[in-house]
Protein backbone atom coordinates (compact mmCIF):
# COMPACT_ATOMS: atom_id res chain seq x y z
CA UNK A 1 0.00 0.00 0.00
CA UNK A 2 1.43 3.38 -0.91
CA UNK A 3 0.48 6.50 0.86
CA UNK A 4 3.19 8.58 2.38
CA UNK A 5 5.87 10.10 0.16
CA UNK A 6 8.11 7.16 -0.57
CA UNK A 7 11.75 7.60 -1.32
CA UNK A 8 12.35 7.48 -5.08
CA UNK A 9 13.82 4.10 -5.93
CA UNK A 10 15.17 4.83 -9.37
CA UNK A 11 17.65 7.16 -10.93
CA UNK A 12 15.16 8.17 -13.58
CA UNK A 13 12.52 9.23 -11.10
CA UNK A 14 15.07 10.91 -8.88
CA UNK A 15 16.19 13.00 -11.87
CA UNK A 16 12.66 13.92 -12.84
CA UNK A 17 11.89 14.78 -9.22
CA UNK A 18 14.85 17.05 -8.77
CA UNK A 19 13.99 18.81 -12.02
CA UNK A 20 10.50 19.51 -10.72
CA UNK A 21 11.85 20.67 -7.35
CA UNK A 22 13.91 23.22 -9.19
CA UNK A 23 10.77 24.64 -10.74
CA UNK A 24 9.04 24.77 -7.37
CA UNK A 25 11.92 26.86 -6.04
CA UNK A 26 11.60 29.21 -8.98
CA UNK A 27 7.82 29.33 -8.60
CA UNK A 28 7.34 27.74 -11.97
CA UNK A 29 5.08 24.81 -11.12
CA UNK A 30 1.55 24.79 -12.50
CA UNK A 31 -1.63 23.51 -10.83
CA UNK A 32 -4.42 21.36 -12.20
CA UNK A 33 -7.38 19.58 -10.69
CA UNK A 34 -9.05 16.52 -12.15
CA UNK A 35 -12.71 16.77 -11.11
CA UNK A 36 -14.79 13.59 -10.97
CA UNK A 37 -18.20 12.57 -9.65
CA UNK A 38 -19.11 8.91 -9.27
CA UNK A 39 -22.57 9.49 -10.80
CA UNK A 40 -21.21 11.33 -13.82
CA UNK A 41 -20.73 8.18 -15.84
CA UNK A 42 -19.98 7.72 -19.53
CA UNK A 43 -20.52 3.97 -19.76
CA UNK A 44 -18.98 0.60 -19.04
CA UNK A 45 -15.51 0.24 -20.47
CA UNK A 46 -15.68 -2.64 -22.95
CA UNK A 47 -12.68 -4.88 -22.28
CA UNK A 48 -12.30 -5.33 -26.07
CA UNK A 49 -10.99 -1.75 -26.23
CA UNK A 50 -7.68 -3.24 -25.08
CA UNK A 51 -7.23 -5.38 -28.17
CA UNK A 52 -4.32 -5.96 -30.52
CA UNK A 53 -3.67 -6.67 -34.18
CA UNK A 54 -1.56 -9.45 -35.68
CA UNK A 55 -1.04 -9.12 -39.43
CA UNK A 56 0.88 -11.31 -41.85
CA UNK A 57 3.22 -8.43 -42.50
CA UNK A 58 6.97 -8.18 -42.13
CA UNK A 59 8.12 -10.06 -39.03
CA UNK A 60 4.88 -9.90 -37.05
CA UNK A 61 3.87 -13.54 -37.44
CA UNK A 62 7.14 -15.16 -38.58
CA UNK A 63 10.04 -14.19 -36.25
CA UNK A 64 7.41 -12.44 -34.11
CA UNK A 65 4.90 -14.72 -32.42
CA UNK A 66 5.85 -17.81 -34.46
CA UNK A 67 9.42 -18.97 -34.91
CA UNK A 68 9.85 -22.75 -34.60
CA UNK A 69 13.65 -22.50 -34.91
CA UNK A 70 14.03 -20.03 -32.06
CA UNK A 71 15.56 -21.03 -28.72
CA UNK A 72 12.36 -19.79 -27.04
CA UNK A 73 9.92 -21.75 -29.24
CA UNK A 74 7.32 -23.92 -27.48
CA UNK A 75 5.84 -27.15 -28.84
CA UNK A 76 3.58 -25.08 -31.14
CA UNK A 77 6.51 -23.13 -32.61
CA UNK A 78 5.51 -19.94 -30.77
CA UNK A 79 8.04 -17.72 -28.99
CA UNK A 80 7.52 -18.03 -25.26
CA UNK A 81 9.48 -14.82 -24.55
CA UNK A 82 7.18 -12.80 -26.83
CA UNK A 83 4.04 -14.47 -25.51
CA UNK A 84 5.09 -13.83 -21.90
CA UNK A 85 5.54 -10.13 -22.67
CA UNK A 86 2.21 -10.01 -24.52
CA UNK A 87 0.53 -11.70 -21.54
CA UNK A 88 1.47 -8.67 -19.48
CA UNK A 89 -0.57 -6.51 -21.88
CA UNK A 90 -3.59 -8.75 -21.24
CA UNK A 91 -4.96 -7.99 -24.69
CA UNK A 92 -8.53 -8.87 -25.53
CA UNK A 93 -9.78 -8.83 -29.16
CA UNK A 94 -6.92 -9.88 -31.47
CA UNK A 95 -7.52 -8.86 -35.09
CA UNK A 96 -6.03 -11.19 -37.74
CA UNK A 97 -4.75 -11.78 -40.50
CA UNK A 98 -4.69 -8.15 -41.73
CA UNK A 99 -4.71 -5.32 -42.58
CA UNK A 100 -3.91 -4.87 -46.22
CA UNK A 101 -2.76 -8.49 -46.26
CA UNK A 102 -6.34 -9.66 -45.73
CA UNK A 103 -7.47 -8.20 -49.07
CA UNK A 104 -5.43 -10.76 -51.02
CA UNK A 105 -5.58 -13.66 -48.55
CA UNK A 106 -7.35 -16.93 -49.24
CA UNK A 107 -7.92 -18.53 -45.87
CA UNK A 108 -8.01 -22.01 -47.36
CA UNK A 109 -4.26 -21.68 -48.16
CA UNK A 110 -3.54 -21.57 -44.43
CA UNK A 111 -5.24 -24.76 -43.23
CA UNK A 112 -4.45 -28.46 -43.33
CA UNK A 113 -1.10 -30.28 -43.24
CA UNK A 114 1.70 -27.73 -43.27
CA UNK A 115 3.68 -29.50 -45.99
CA UNK A 116 0.69 -29.25 -48.35
CA UNK A 117 0.12 -25.52 -47.86
CA UNK A 118 1.07 -23.36 -50.84
CA UNK A 119 3.78 -20.72 -50.74
CA UNK A 120 2.34 -17.65 -52.42
CA UNK A 121 3.42 -14.27 -53.69
CA UNK A 122 1.81 -11.73 -51.41
CA UNK A 123 0.96 -8.43 -53.07
CA UNK A 124 0.05 -6.02 -50.28
CA UNK A 125 3.60 -6.04 -48.90
CA UNK A 126 5.41 -7.61 -51.87
CA UNK A 127 6.44 -10.54 -49.69
CA UNK A 128 6.47 -14.32 -49.83
CA UNK A 129 3.88 -16.02 -47.64
CA UNK A 130 4.57 -19.63 -46.62
CA UNK A 131 1.17 -20.15 -44.94
CA UNK A 132 2.81 -22.10 -42.12
CA UNK A 133 0.69 -20.12 -39.69
CA UNK A 134 -3.01 -19.99 -40.48
CA UNK A 135 -6.50 -20.11 -38.98
CA UNK A 136 -6.04 -23.11 -36.69
CA UNK A 137 -2.66 -21.93 -35.36
CA UNK A 138 -4.13 -18.47 -34.75
CA UNK A 139 -7.15 -19.84 -32.89
CA UNK A 140 -4.94 -22.13 -30.78
CA UNK A 141 -2.80 -19.11 -29.91
CA UNK A 142 -5.89 -17.07 -29.00
CA UNK A 143 -6.99 -19.82 -26.64
CA UNK A 144 -3.59 -20.01 -24.97
CA UNK A 145 -3.37 -16.24 -24.62
CA UNK A 146 -6.98 -15.56 -23.61
CA UNK A 147 -7.52 -13.41 -26.71
CA UNK A 148 -10.93 -13.00 -28.35
CA UNK A 149 -10.57 -14.01 -32.01
CA UNK A 150 -11.42 -11.31 -34.58
CA UNK A 151 -11.05 -12.27 -38.24
CA UNK A 152 -10.90 -9.98 -41.28
CA UNK A 153 -12.40 -11.50 -44.41
CA UNK A 154 -11.06 -10.81 -47.88
CA UNK A 155 -13.43 -8.42 -49.63
CA UNK A 156 -10.68 -7.24 -51.99
CA UNK A 157 -9.84 -10.21 -54.23
CA UNK A 158 -12.15 -12.59 -52.35
CA UNK A 159 -15.87 -13.13 -52.63
CA UNK A 160 -18.74 -12.95 -50.15
CA UNK A 161 -19.07 -16.70 -50.57
CA UNK A 162 -15.43 -17.30 -49.59
CA UNK A 163 -16.09 -15.21 -46.49
CA UNK A 164 -19.16 -17.23 -45.65
CA UNK A 165 -17.23 -20.48 -46.11
CA UNK A 166 -14.68 -19.27 -43.55
CA UNK A 167 -17.50 -18.71 -41.06
CA UNK A 168 -18.66 -22.27 -41.66
CA UNK A 169 -15.10 -23.60 -41.24
CA UNK A 170 -14.73 -21.79 -37.93
CA UNK A 171 -18.16 -21.87 -36.37
CA UNK A 172 -20.41 -24.67 -37.59
CA UNK A 173 -20.76 -28.14 -36.07
CA UNK A 174 -19.70 -31.05 -38.30
CA UNK A 175 -21.74 -32.52 -41.13
CA UNK A 176 -21.04 -30.01 -43.89
CA UNK A 177 -18.02 -29.47 -46.14
CA UNK A 178 -16.04 -26.67 -44.46
CA UNK A 179 -16.93 -27.59 -40.88
CA UNK A 180 -15.80 -31.15 -41.64
CA UNK A 181 -12.50 -29.76 -42.93
CA UNK A 182 -11.92 -28.14 -39.55
CA UNK A 183 -12.69 -31.41 -37.79
CA UNK A 184 -10.34 -33.27 -40.13
CA UNK A 185 -7.68 -30.69 -39.25
CA UNK A 186 -7.97 -31.58 -35.58
CA UNK A 187 -10.62 -29.27 -34.09
CA UNK A 188 -13.82 -31.11 -33.33
CA UNK A 189 -15.28 -28.21 -31.38
CA UNK A 190 -16.14 -25.09 -33.42
CA UNK A 191 -13.74 -22.17 -33.03
CA UNK A 192 -16.74 -19.94 -32.22
CA UNK A 193 -15.35 -16.74 -33.76
CA UNK A 194 -17.83 -14.02 -32.96
CA UNK A 195 -16.18 -10.93 -34.45
CA UNK A 196 -15.69 -10.56 -38.20
CA UNK A 197 -14.38 -7.53 -40.13
CA UNK A 198 -15.92 -7.02 -43.57
CA UNK A 199 -12.62 -6.34 -45.36
CA UNK A 200 -9.93 -3.79 -44.61
CA UNK A 201 -9.52 -0.13 -45.60
CA UNK A 202 -11.56 -0.65 -48.74
CA UNK A 203 -11.74 3.14 -49.23
CA UNK A 204 -7.98 3.34 -49.85
CA UNK A 205 -6.65 3.24 -53.42
CA UNK A 206 -3.70 1.09 -52.22
CA UNK A 207 -6.08 -1.64 -51.15
CA UNK A 208 -6.27 -4.77 -53.33
CA UNK A 209 -9.76 -4.69 -54.81
CA UNK A 210 -10.46 -1.09 -53.76
CA UNK A 211 -13.85 0.14 -55.02
CA UNK A 212 -16.00 3.23 -54.46
CA UNK A 213 -18.29 3.31 -51.41
CA UNK A 214 -21.46 2.18 -53.17
CA UNK A 215 -19.76 -0.90 -54.60
CA UNK A 216 -18.07 -1.81 -51.31
CA UNK A 217 -21.42 -1.39 -49.58
CA UNK A 218 -22.99 -3.98 -51.90
CA UNK A 219 -20.11 -6.42 -51.39
CA UNK A 220 -20.16 -5.95 -47.64
CA UNK A 221 -23.93 -6.34 -47.39
CA UNK A 222 -23.85 -9.55 -49.43
CA UNK A 223 -21.01 -10.95 -47.34
CA UNK A 224 -22.61 -9.93 -44.04
CA UNK A 225 -25.91 -11.54 -45.01
CA UNK A 226 -24.34 -14.85 -46.04
CA UNK A 227 -22.03 -14.87 -43.03
CA UNK A 228 -24.86 -14.16 -40.60
CA UNK A 229 -27.06 -16.72 -42.36
CA UNK A 230 -24.29 -19.24 -41.65
CA UNK A 231 -23.98 -18.28 -37.99
CA UNK A 232 -26.57 -15.94 -36.46
CA UNK A 233 -24.37 -15.31 -33.41
CA UNK A 234 -21.63 -13.40 -35.22
CA UNK A 235 -21.08 -9.64 -35.20
CA UNK A 236 -19.64 -7.76 -38.16
CA UNK A 237 -17.51 -4.65 -38.51
CA UNK A 238 -18.06 -2.59 -41.67
CA UNK A 239 -15.04 -0.82 -43.15
CA UNK A 240 -15.22 2.83 -42.24
CA UNK A 241 -12.89 5.59 -43.38
CA UNK A 242 -9.25 4.58 -43.03
CA UNK A 243 -8.15 8.11 -42.13
CA UNK A 244 -9.59 11.53 -41.47
CA UNK A 245 -7.53 12.88 -44.39
CA UNK A 246 -9.10 10.73 -47.10
CA UNK A 247 -11.35 12.76 -49.46
CA UNK A 248 -14.33 10.45 -48.90
CA UNK A 249 -14.11 10.81 -45.09
CA UNK A 250 -17.62 10.64 -43.55
CA UNK A 251 -19.37 10.32 -46.91
CA UNK A 252 -17.96 6.79 -47.35
CA UNK A 253 -19.20 5.90 -43.88
CA UNK A 254 -22.66 7.33 -44.47
CA UNK A 255 -23.14 5.40 -47.70
CA UNK A 256 -21.85 2.14 -46.28
CA UNK A 257 -23.91 2.37 -43.10
CA UNK A 258 -27.06 3.29 -45.00
CA UNK A 259 -26.70 0.32 -47.32
CA UNK A 260 -25.79 -2.18 -44.62
CA UNK A 261 -28.60 -0.98 -42.36
CA UNK A 262 -29.18 -3.10 -39.29
CA UNK A 263 -26.63 -5.59 -40.59
CA UNK A 264 -23.74 -3.39 -39.35
CA UNK A 265 -22.87 -4.00 -35.72
CA UNK A 266 -19.76 -1.81 -35.81
CA UNK A 267 -17.95 0.52 -38.16
CA UNK A 268 -14.17 0.70 -38.20
CA UNK A 269 -11.88 3.69 -37.63
CA UNK A 270 -8.13 3.76 -38.22
CA UNK A 271 -5.60 6.34 -37.07
CA UNK A 272 -1.83 6.55 -37.24
CA UNK A 273 -0.19 9.68 -35.87
CA UNK A 274 3.34 11.06 -35.80
CA UNK A 275 5.58 13.95 -34.93
CA UNK A 276 6.70 14.72 -38.48
CA UNK A 277 7.09 18.42 -37.63
CA UNK A 278 9.26 17.61 -34.59
CA UNK A 279 6.99 19.77 -32.42
CA UNK A 280 6.49 17.80 -29.20
CA UNK A 281 3.87 20.13 -27.70
CA UNK A 282 1.70 19.95 -30.79
CA UNK A 283 2.22 16.20 -31.10
CA UNK A 284 1.07 15.62 -27.52
CA UNK A 285 -2.07 17.62 -28.29
CA UNK A 286 -3.11 15.04 -30.90
CA UNK A 287 -5.63 13.52 -28.50
CA UNK A 288 -7.83 16.49 -29.48
CA UNK A 289 -7.94 15.05 -32.98
CA UNK A 290 -8.64 11.54 -31.73
CA UNK A 291 -11.57 12.78 -29.63
CA UNK A 292 -12.88 14.64 -32.68
CA UNK A 293 -12.53 11.63 -35.00
CA UNK A 294 -14.48 9.44 -32.57
CA UNK A 295 -17.20 12.04 -32.13
CA UNK A 296 -17.51 12.63 -35.88
CA UNK A 297 -17.76 8.92 -36.62
CA UNK A 298 -20.30 8.42 -33.87
CA UNK A 299 -22.27 11.34 -35.33
CA UNK A 300 -22.47 9.54 -38.72
CA UNK A 301 -23.68 6.39 -36.99
CA UNK A 302 -26.37 8.34 -35.13
CA UNK A 303 -27.32 10.32 -38.27
CA UNK A 304 -27.84 7.15 -40.31
CA UNK A 305 -29.67 5.47 -37.44
CA UNK A 306 -32.01 8.45 -37.11
CA UNK A 307 -32.62 8.65 -40.86
CA UNK A 308 -33.41 4.97 -40.99
CA UNK A 309 -35.60 5.29 -37.90
CA UNK A 310 -33.88 2.20 -36.58
CA UNK A 311 -33.43 0.98 -33.04
CA UNK A 312 -30.08 -0.49 -33.98
CA UNK A 313 -27.04 1.65 -33.21
CA UNK A 314 -23.75 0.85 -34.93
CA UNK A 315 -20.86 1.23 -32.47
CA UNK A 316 -17.26 2.13 -33.14
CA UNK A 317 -14.45 -0.34 -33.65
CA UNK A 318 -11.11 1.51 -33.67
CA UNK A 319 -9.40 -1.52 -35.16
CA UNK A 320 -6.06 0.08 -36.07
CA UNK A 321 -4.39 2.79 -34.05
CA UNK A 322 -0.86 3.73 -33.09
CA UNK A 323 2.08 6.03 -33.71
CA UNK A 324 3.65 5.39 -37.10
CA UNK A 325 5.75 7.84 -39.08
CA UNK A 326 9.46 7.10 -38.73
CA UNK A 327 9.89 3.82 -40.56
CA UNK A 328 8.02 3.66 -43.87
CA UNK A 329 9.73 0.54 -45.26
CA UNK A 330 6.73 -1.23 -46.81
CA UNK A 331 8.26 -3.12 -49.73
CA UNK A 332 9.09 -6.71 -48.85
CA UNK A 333 11.15 -7.12 -52.05
CA UNK A 334 9.94 -10.68 -52.57
CA UNK A 335 11.28 -11.94 -49.21
CA UNK A 336 9.78 -14.06 -46.46
CA UNK A 337 9.42 -12.16 -43.18
CA UNK A 338 11.14 -8.96 -44.37
CA UNK A 339 11.88 -6.14 -41.93
CA UNK A 340 8.90 -3.81 -42.51
CA UNK A 341 7.86 -0.72 -40.54
CA UNK A 342 9.83 -1.68 -37.42
CA UNK A 343 9.22 1.65 -35.73
CA UNK A 344 11.40 2.58 -32.75
CA UNK A 345 9.31 4.25 -30.03
CA UNK A 346 10.39 6.96 -27.62
CA UNK A 347 8.94 8.71 -24.58
CA UNK A 348 6.76 11.18 -26.47
CA UNK A 349 5.27 8.28 -28.48
CA UNK A 350 4.40 6.52 -25.21
CA UNK A 351 2.59 9.65 -24.02
CA UNK A 352 0.65 9.79 -27.30
CA UNK A 353 -0.32 6.13 -26.90
CA UNK A 354 -1.65 7.04 -23.45
CA UNK A 355 -3.59 9.84 -25.20
CA UNK A 356 -5.35 7.33 -27.47
CA UNK A 357 -6.32 5.23 -24.45
CA UNK A 358 -7.59 8.26 -22.52
CA UNK A 359 -9.78 9.07 -25.49
CA UNK A 360 -11.18 5.53 -25.80
CA UNK A 361 -12.04 5.44 -22.10
CA UNK A 362 -13.65 8.90 -22.27
CA UNK A 363 -15.81 7.62 -25.15
CA UNK A 364 -16.76 4.31 -23.55
CA UNK A 365 -20.37 4.87 -24.59
CA UNK A 366 -19.54 4.46 -28.29
CA UNK A 367 -16.05 2.90 -28.66
CA UNK A 368 -16.55 -0.80 -28.02
CA UNK A 369 -13.49 -2.36 -29.65
CA UNK A 370 -9.99 -1.03 -30.35
CA UNK A 371 -6.86 -2.77 -31.57
CA UNK A 372 -3.34 -1.52 -31.05
CA UNK A 373 -1.63 -1.93 -34.44
CA UNK A 374 0.35 -4.05 -34.09
CA UNK A 375 1.81 -6.39 -31.46
CA UNK A 376 5.30 -7.61 -32.46
CA UNK A 377 8.01 -6.12 -34.70
CA UNK A 378 5.63 -4.28 -37.05
CA UNK A 379 4.85 -0.88 -35.40
CA UNK A 380 4.80 -2.76 -32.13
CA UNK A 381 5.44 -2.55 -28.40
CA UNK A 382 7.78 -5.56 -28.69
CA UNK A 383 10.74 -6.15 -31.01
CA UNK A 384 12.70 -9.34 -31.59
CA UNK A 385 16.26 -9.80 -32.82
CA UNK A 386 17.21 -13.45 -33.21
CA UNK A 387 16.68 -14.87 -29.71
CA UNK A 388 16.59 -11.43 -28.07
CA UNK A 389 13.52 -9.35 -27.35
CA UNK A 390 13.10 -5.66 -26.55
CA UNK A 391 10.17 -3.97 -24.85
CA UNK A 392 9.51 -0.53 -26.32
CA UNK A 393 8.23 2.60 -24.55
CA UNK A 394 4.64 2.29 -25.79
CA UNK A 395 4.31 -1.06 -24.00
CA UNK A 396 4.08 0.63 -20.60
CA UNK A 397 1.05 2.94 -20.89
CA UNK A 398 -0.89 0.07 -22.47
CA UNK A 399 0.06 -2.26 -19.62
CA UNK A 400 -0.76 0.39 -16.99
CA UNK A 401 -4.24 0.93 -18.47
CA UNK A 402 -4.91 -2.75 -19.18
CA UNK A 403 -4.29 -3.71 -15.55
CA UNK A 404 -6.90 -1.17 -14.47
CA UNK A 405 -9.48 -1.38 -17.26
CA UNK A 406 -12.46 -2.88 -15.48
CA UNK A 407 -15.40 -0.66 -14.58
CA UNK A 408 -17.32 2.39 -15.69
CA UNK A 409 -15.72 5.40 -17.33
CA UNK A 410 -16.38 8.66 -15.52
CA UNK A 411 -16.70 12.09 -17.07
CA UNK A 412 -13.55 14.08 -16.47
CA UNK A 413 -13.29 17.83 -16.06
CA UNK A 414 -9.78 19.24 -15.90
CA UNK A 415 -9.34 22.63 -14.34
CA UNK A 416 -5.90 23.99 -15.13
CA UNK A 417 -3.66 25.78 -17.59
CA UNK A 418 -3.86 25.25 -21.34
CA UNK A 419 -1.59 25.74 -24.29
CA UNK A 420 -2.10 26.18 -28.01
CA UNK A 421 -0.90 23.32 -30.25
CA UNK A 422 0.03 24.53 -33.77
CA UNK A 423 -2.13 22.05 -35.64
CA UNK A 424 -4.03 20.26 -32.90
CA UNK A 425 -5.47 23.33 -31.18
CA UNK A 426 -5.88 24.33 -27.56
CA UNK A 427 -5.44 21.64 -24.94
CA UNK A 428 -5.06 21.44 -21.19
CA UNK A 429 -1.55 20.49 -20.09
CA UNK A 430 -3.22 17.66 -18.20
CA UNK A 431 -5.00 14.93 -20.18
CA UNK A 432 -6.97 12.49 -18.05
CA UNK A 433 -9.45 9.63 -17.85
CA UNK A 434 -10.95 7.64 -14.99
CA UNK A 435 -12.66 4.31 -14.37
CA UNK A 436 -14.76 3.48 -11.33
CA UNK A 437 -15.23 -0.11 -10.24
CA UNK A 438 -17.32 -0.25 -7.06
CA UNK A 439 -15.03 1.19 -4.31
CA UNK A 440 -12.01 1.27 -6.57
CA UNK A 441 -11.15 4.34 -8.63
CA UNK A 442 -8.58 4.22 -11.42
CA UNK A 443 -7.19 7.58 -12.51
CA UNK A 444 -4.94 8.05 -15.54
CA UNK A 445 -3.16 11.37 -16.05
CA UNK A 446 -0.72 12.64 -18.66
CA UNK A 447 1.20 15.84 -18.03
CA UNK A 448 2.10 17.27 -21.44
CA UNK A 449 4.23 20.11 -20.09
CA UNK A 450 7.73 20.00 -21.55
CA UNK A 451 9.67 21.62 -18.76
CA UNK A 452 7.44 22.58 -15.84
CA UNK A 453 6.14 20.31 -13.12
CA UNK A 454 2.41 20.11 -12.37
CA UNK A 455 0.84 20.10 -8.93
CA UNK A 456 -2.12 17.78 -9.39
CA UNK A 457 -5.25 17.28 -7.30
CA UNK A 458 -7.72 14.47 -7.95
CA UNK A 459 -11.09 15.45 -6.51
CA UNK A 460 -14.01 13.00 -6.45
CA UNK A 461 -16.80 15.43 -5.58
CA UNK A 462 -19.21 13.09 -3.84
CA UNK A 463 -16.82 10.77 -2.01
CA UNK A 464 -13.59 10.75 -0.11
CA UNK A 465 -10.56 8.93 -1.33
CA UNK A 466 -9.27 6.63 1.36
CA UNK A 467 -6.07 4.99 0.28
CA UNK A 468 -3.63 4.86 -2.57
CA UNK A 469 -3.38 1.23 -3.56
CA UNK A 470 -0.78 1.52 -6.30
CA UNK A 471 0.63 4.04 -8.74
CA UNK A 472 3.09 3.89 -11.60
CA UNK A 473 4.71 6.52 -13.73
CA UNK A 474 6.41 6.72 -17.11
CA UNK A 475 8.47 9.90 -17.32
CA UNK A 476 11.72 11.38 -18.49
CA UNK A 477 13.44 14.62 -19.30
CA UNK A 478 13.99 13.95 -22.99
CA UNK A 479 10.96 13.29 -25.23
CA UNK A 480 13.19 11.44 -27.68
CA UNK A 481 14.65 8.93 -25.23
CA UNK A 482 13.98 5.36 -26.38
CA UNK A 483 14.80 1.83 -25.26
CA UNK A 484 17.45 -0.10 -27.15
CA UNK A 485 19.01 -3.54 -26.81
CA UNK A 486 21.98 -1.79 -25.16
CA UNK A 487 19.79 0.29 -22.82
CA UNK A 488 16.46 -1.56 -22.52
CA UNK A 489 15.07 0.37 -19.53
CA UNK A 490 15.57 3.96 -20.64
CA UNK A 491 11.78 4.36 -20.74
CA UNK A 492 9.71 2.13 -18.50
CA UNK A 493 7.04 2.21 -15.83
CA UNK A 494 8.24 2.70 -12.29
CA UNK A 495 6.45 2.79 -9.00
CA UNK A 496 5.26 6.32 -8.22
CA UNK A 497 5.40 7.07 -4.55
CA UNK A 498 4.89 10.81 -4.65
CA UNK A 499 1.18 10.73 -3.81
CA UNK A 500 -0.63 11.76 -0.65
CA UNK A 501 -4.26 11.83 0.42
CA UNK A 502 -5.33 15.14 1.99
CA UNK A 503 -8.94 15.70 3.07
CA UNK A 504 -10.14 12.89 0.82
CA UNK A 505 -8.34 14.24 -2.26
CA UNK A 506 -5.20 12.96 -3.92
CA UNK A 507 -2.27 15.32 -4.28
CA UNK A 508 0.95 14.83 -6.16
CA UNK A 509 3.45 16.60 -8.29
CA UNK A 510 3.85 15.34 -11.82
CA UNK A 511 7.17 15.86 -13.55
CA UNK A 512 7.09 17.24 -17.11
CA UNK A 513 6.48 14.67 -19.87
CA UNK A 514 4.87 12.08 -17.67
CA UNK A 515 2.02 9.59 -17.54
CA UNK A 516 0.71 8.15 -14.29
CA UNK A 517 -1.84 5.46 -13.52
CA UNK A 518 -3.21 5.44 -10.00
CA UNK A 519 -5.42 2.91 -8.21
CA UNK A 520 -7.36 4.39 -5.30
CA UNK A 521 -9.84 2.99 -2.82
CA UNK A 522 -12.77 5.09 -1.71
CA UNK A 523 -13.74 5.54 1.94
Q: What are the residue numbers of the active site?
A: 201, 320
The residue from 20, 154, 374, 519 that contacts ligand AHR (CB under 6 A) is 374
The residue from 200, 241, 268, 424 that contacts ligand AHR (CB under 6 A) is 200
CB of 209 to ligand AHR, least distance (A): 13
Query: Cα separation of 96 and 134, whole Å?
Result: 10
Nearer to ligand AHR, 129 or 320 (CB): 320
Helices (H), 106-261: 135-145, 160-171, 177-184, 213-230, 251-260
The residue from 63, 136, 137, 201 that contacts ligand AHR (CB under 6 A) is 201
CB 30 within 8 A of CB 401: no
CB of 135 to ligand AHR, least distance (A): 18
| Cα 393-390-445 angle, rounded to 5 deg | 20
CB of 374 to ligand AHR, least distance (A): 6
User: How big is the site for ligand AHR, counted in residues (CB under 6 A)?
Assistant: 10
CB of 205 to ligand AHR, least distance (A): 12
Nearer to ligand AHR, 127 or 519 (CB): 127
| Cα 470-476-482 angle, rounded to 5 deg | 110
Find out whether the peptide bond into 374 is cis, omega within 30 degrees of 0: yes
Nearer to ligand AHR, 210 or 505 (CB): 210
Query: Cα separation of 91 and 86, whole Å?
Result: 7
Per-residue binding string, ligand AHR, 157-196, x by CB under 6 A, is ----------------------------------------
- In terms of Cα–Cα distance, which of 283, 445, 300 is closest to 362? 445
Stretch that binds ligand AHR, among 94-102, 191-199, 251-259, 498-506 (CB under 6 A): 94-102
377 makes contact with ligand AHR (CB under 6 A): no
The residue number with the shortest CB distance to ligand AHR is: 99
373 makes contact with ligand AHR (CB under 6 A): yes
Stretch that binds ligand AHR, among 98-106, 220-228, 296-304, 501-509 (CB under 6 A): 98-106
User: Among positive and negative, which fits the CA dihedral 475, 476, 480, 482?
Assistant: negative
Element (DSSP H or E) covering residue 35? strand 30-36
- In terms of Cα–Cα distance, which of 474, 429, 428 is closest to 449? 429
Question: What contacts 497, CB < 8 A, 6 or more positions away?
Answer: 2, 5, 6, 7, 8, 9, 471
The residue from 55, 265, 282, 343 that contacts ligand AHR (CB under 6 A) is 55
Kindly report the backbone phi and psi dihedral angles of residue 472, in degrees, each rounded to the nearest multiple of 5, phi listed first.
-130, 155
Element (DSSP H or E) covering residue 398? helix 395-402
Element (DSSP H or E) covering residue 299? helix 287-307
CB of 177 to ligand AHR, least distance (A): 30
512 makes contact with ligand AHR (CB under 6 A): no
Find out whether the peptide bond into 97 is cis, omega within 30 degrees of 0: yes
Nearer to ligand AHR, 42 or 373 (CB): 373
Give the number of other Cβ atoms within 10 Å of residue 306's Cβ. 9
Alpha carbon separation from 205 to 200, 268, 278, 336 (Å, rounded)? 12, 17, 29, 25
The residue from 8, 52, 64, 99 that contacts ligand AHR (CB under 6 A) is 99
The residue from 8, 52, 97, 98 that contacts ligand AHR (CB under 6 A) is 98
Nearer to ligand AHR, 141 or 197 (CB): 197
154 makes contact with ligand AHR (CB under 6 A): no
Stretch that binds ligand AHR, among 26-34, 97-105, 288-296, 508-516 (CB under 6 A): 97-105
Nearer to ligand AHR, 324 or 429 (CB): 324
Query: Cα separation of 374 and 65, whole Å?
Result: 12
Kindly report the backbone phi and psi dihedral angles of residue 369, in degrees, each rounded to the nearest multiple of 5, phi listed first.
-140, 140
103 makes contact with ligand AHR (CB under 6 A): no
Stretch that binds ligand AHR, among 92-100, 302-310, 409-417, 474-482 (CB under 6 A): 92-100
CB of 99 to ligand AHR, least distance (A): 3
CB of 206 to ligand AHR, least distance (A): 7
100 makes contact with ligand AHR (CB under 6 A): yes
Binding site for ligand AHR (CB under 6 A): 55, 57, 98-100, 200-201, 320, 373-374
Amino acid sequence: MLGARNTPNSTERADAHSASELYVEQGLTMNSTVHLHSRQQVGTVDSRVFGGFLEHMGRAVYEGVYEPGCRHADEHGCRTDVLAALKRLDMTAMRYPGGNFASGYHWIDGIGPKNKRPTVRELAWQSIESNQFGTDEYIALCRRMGWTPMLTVNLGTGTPEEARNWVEYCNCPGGTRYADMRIANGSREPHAVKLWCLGNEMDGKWQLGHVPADQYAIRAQQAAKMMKDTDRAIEVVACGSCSTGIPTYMEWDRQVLEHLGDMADYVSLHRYVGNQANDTADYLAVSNGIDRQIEEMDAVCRFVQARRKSKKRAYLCFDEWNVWYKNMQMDGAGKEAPHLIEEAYNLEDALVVAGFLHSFVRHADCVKIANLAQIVNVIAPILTRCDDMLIQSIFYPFEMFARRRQGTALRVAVDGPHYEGKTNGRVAFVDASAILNKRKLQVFVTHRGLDRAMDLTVDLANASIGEIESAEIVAGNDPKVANSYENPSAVCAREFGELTVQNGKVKCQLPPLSFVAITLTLE
